[in-house]
Amino acid sequence: MSAFKIDEEAIRKLATILNDTGLVEVEVKSGENVLRVSKAGTVVQAAAAPVAVQAQATAGAPTAMPAANSDLPAGTQVTSPMVGTTYLSASPGAAPFVKVGDTVKEGDTLLIVEAMKVMNPIKAPKGGKIVRIMVSDAQPVEFGEVLVIIG
């Protein structure tokens, strides 16, 4: 494995691109070298190995309750279909789409995930009662992160 020289100017340019475009991550590959800059965490990563690509699941698809995590209540987990920012209401100061204890029907909007200036409504995959809202307003979220649990 050859040494990877870190180009601070390239990192600064990539960070500027993130700020100017609203993206949360940008990656540049040159041969075996990979430079990734991300706002989703505090990750600035340089690697000299191939990067595996993760397959994406269906947008907002419910997932089975993990047996190992007893902190979460039982129910259907509605997950984020993308990296973005959650919004619990249609506009600042407006009432939230749902609250804990509300009953929803399949297809009701639970919240919004904004990604690249596009507002993506997250719909209830089934009817039921809102058991827990796992995110707060304007919170950054990752792909697959649990947003809401419907009982």
**pLDDT digit string (tens) for 86-101?**
999 999 889 999 999 9
Length of the chain: 151
Q: Report the relative pairing of strands 44-47 and 62-63 from DSSP bridges.
A: unpaired
Average pLDDT over residues 119-146: 94
What's at 133, amino acid-wise?
A: I
What pLDDT is attached to residue 110? 96
Scored b (16 or more CB within 10 A) or e, 80-101 reads: bbbbbbbbbeeeeeeeebbeee
CA angle in degrees (0–180, nearest 5) for 132-66-124: 45
- Rounded-to-integer distance, Cα 30 and Cα 14, Å: 15
> Quick one: fold of 62-150?
OB fold (Dihydrolipoamide Acetyltransferase, E2P) (2.40.50)
**pLDDT digit string (tens) for 11-41?**
787 777 767 776 777 777 777 777 777 765 4
What pLDDT is attached to residue 46? 43
Per domain, the residue ranges of the chain are 8-47, 62-150
